[in-house]
Structure 1
């Protein structure tokens, strides 16, 4: 482990078919008013909404609802939530849904009692949060972001055409999260696959940087192999409990953020996709899938040994007779084949991107990079190859 780190994760996890049994115990620890945040109503179809209301009623809780949280939550929606929290003196925000709902809840938590413009202070200037927080908890219905077990939040400012992520201190983590893999069965194949590539991308962002041989790299390789194997099962049978439970737990482990400790990281693929999402409102994981192959083909020359290791340890490619360059290429080709065989998106044009958007996306992307510090022109070239 080459880099020093401090690690804290205060989220309590209830995992499995009986996970909801923990909700009553946990809600009893909080005050009278709960804000229930959710999306377009899918939680009503699978019965989770009624379960939550029944438990709240049994505890004498008052429930305030923030419905309609969108897949790429907007700052306007965050402000709507902030108003509800203040008006009703909310004690706990219970986010029920996927990562977008949980991200929105965290943004509401830090923004409600902020003095001044929360977007400017916390998502532009990255100032420390110095105001009262509202406790957050979650019930997960879609695996992918890992938001159920971390302090990150990604929010889109539609007026500015900026999608920005922020990792806050651990006190913004959900206090507890309920993870029942059966709740993910109702998610469409498209959204399941989007979440799967999101968790893979979280791991690859941490993997493809630095020259370490630390424990984190071994953890990442194992998680990637688990995701690949479980995806192949889940694509054929979306209700295979073991496969979906593996994917749900891999999602949490990929971004909690255990897997990236003690090593350099990249995150440029995410930075590009965030701005793609700001312009197209596309599914996050699908945007990552379309961008990753041309990005990794370009940067592999600057981090050749790690891409060789990726081919060897993740994809088990027979390297006999291959040069390092050929082996690295074979690993990226294997990733591309996995994307295609799973049914993930491979082209930006299939995500409502237009050629006219590409320079705008490149110009607004936060420049980062692991093996190569990117330039705006390099980002544009990658976008064109992904288009």
Structure 2
């Protein structure tokens, strides 16, 4: 295990009806004027936005609103939010929605006190030195942004999807009420589940040795998702299954399962170009990319993939030919994704094989990536070719 620092200061307020605590939480963390940032009209139709406003009003906290966040959140809405916050002298941002809304809120939070273009921080490694505090009311279990310092947004010019990260962007608090996810369509629920599993796999496939504790934590989350996702698809109102998935989404990405070990993130980088170009759901893109990445790299450490196959998917270990076990695990993962309604190839996703050179070029790999197995541009192209023709195998 490698040396590490782990910092996760977010306060999680979990359970039924806990959105009523928003006003108290904002006050606790010093907010006096709030930007309520949200996505579509679902938070309005459900009455959630009104409940959040009421909680702020009960604590005499002023607020302004900015709705309209899209999936794969756009820079145009972020610029609008930055301007509004400066004009209204907002000192706290409250995101009411899923990962896209939270990521947009984080971009606004770092952009308000910055003299330049907020985009300077995305895809560049430029350190964030100052940001407004944010809180979240989560409505989708998926991205884990409610407990992480990461933000992924899209620049409309060129449809570039890029990320940044800083502990300054970790929410001060996050309200997690599993009831708020019960009305999600099955497809959106499955996309979220896929994203959660991908966040774990990006950490699980590591070159660091002797990381048994975080291996077991990773495997526990993956087993939970395999159990609970079909349950909520069959019964959307299953609160206990929703609760397990919601908390899994948070611990999958606040890095508790990633400390002390090298990580990968190449599947996410490749997928960002898919959802950037086609505006598909991030989880759906990951369902196509991640098993294909696994097929391409598994020989780099066959025994780690065999371990995943045995511990997570219940495959039998073939000690004479561990490669067979490793591939059985990859096939089982793809079968699971297909069983919950996820696409597993380009045709099902709505992508085009002829666009692979464009996708690879947008990745911008200069030499090789870092990660579990560093990838060249040619490697990324081969992974996308596997993804284009992937199929479910027994």
TM, length-normalised to structure 1: 0.95
Aligned to 1:11: 10
Aligned to 1:81: 81
Aligned to 1:100: 100
> How far apart in 2 are the matches of 1:171 and 1:11?
11
Where do 4+ consecutive residues of structure 1 move more than 4 Å?
none
Shift of 1:278: 1.2
> How far apart in 2 are the matches of 1:148 and 1:6?
20
Q: 1:207 aligns with which of 192, 196, 204?
A: 204
1:1-387 aligned within 5 A: 2-29=1-28, 30-120=30-120, 122-131=121-130, 133-168=131-166, 170-214=167-211, 215-319=213-317, 323-365=321-363, 367=365, 368-387=369-388
RMSD: 1.5
Q: Which has the higher mean CA deviation after the structures are superposed, 73-82 or 195-204?
A: 73-82
Shift of 1:161: 2.8
> How far apart in 1 are the matches of 2:168 and 2:385?
40
Q: Which has the higher mean CA deviation after the structures are superposed, 350-359 or 222-231?
A: 350-359
Shift of 1:304: 0.6
Shift of 1:236: 1.1
Q: Which has the higher mean CA deviation after the structures are superposed, 24-33 or 142-151?
A: 24-33
> How far apart in 2 are the matches of 1:111 and 1:27?
20
Cα deviation 1:145-195 (Å, max 9, x = unaligned): 110011100011121331111121x22211101000000011111111111
Shift of 1:318: 2.0
> How far apart in 2 are the matches of 1:320 and 1:350?
33
Shift of 1:369: 4.9
> How far apart in 2 are the matches of 1:21 and 1:118?
32
Unaligned 5+ runs, structure 2: 389-394
> How far apart in 2 are the matches of 1:370 and 1:88?
43
**What secondary structure sits across from 1:64 in the alignment?**
strand
Indicate conservation of the 8 Å contact 2:20/2:52, yes or no. Answer: no
Cα deviation 1:58-104 (Å, max 9, x = unaligned): 22222211100011111121111100110000121100000110011
Cα deviation 1:187-226 (Å, max 9, x = unaligned): 1111111110000000001011214231111110111001
Shift of 1:267: 0.5
TM, length-normalised to structure 2: 0.94
> How far apart in 2 are the matches of 1:320 and 1:123?
44
**What secondary structure sits across from 2:152 in the alignment?**
strand
> How far apart in 1 are the matches of 2:267 and 2:319?
31
